[in-house]
Amino acid sequence: MSTQNNVSHIISLALRGIAMAMAVAAVVIGVRKAAPAETTVVMLGIGLFALALDAMDQGKEA
């Protein structure tokens, strides 16, 4: 496995982790009603942006 491929895999894993963490945090905050809905939407948007970056990076490798 080349160094560039290894770095790309780590970045992909980090971006997917960010997306998952944002989704879980948004659900927990929503259930606990600890923040307004706008905050939850922003968190989900950040997670979606991380997934979009990952998808663009994956497309570059193919």
Q: Number of structural domains, the chain?
A: 1
Task: For residue range 5-57, list pLDDT tens digits in order.
Answer: 899 999 999 999 999 999 999 999 999 999 999 999 999 999 999 999 999 98
Q: Which structural domain, as residue segments, surrounds residue 49?
A: 3-61
Q: How far apart are CA 15 and CA 49, in angstroms?
A: 9
Q: What is the pLDDT of residue 62?
A: 55
Q: Secondary structure of the chain in the HEC alphabet?
A: CCHHHHHHHHHHHHHHHHHHHHHHHHHHHHHHCCCCHHHHHHHHHHHHHHHHHHHHHHHHHC
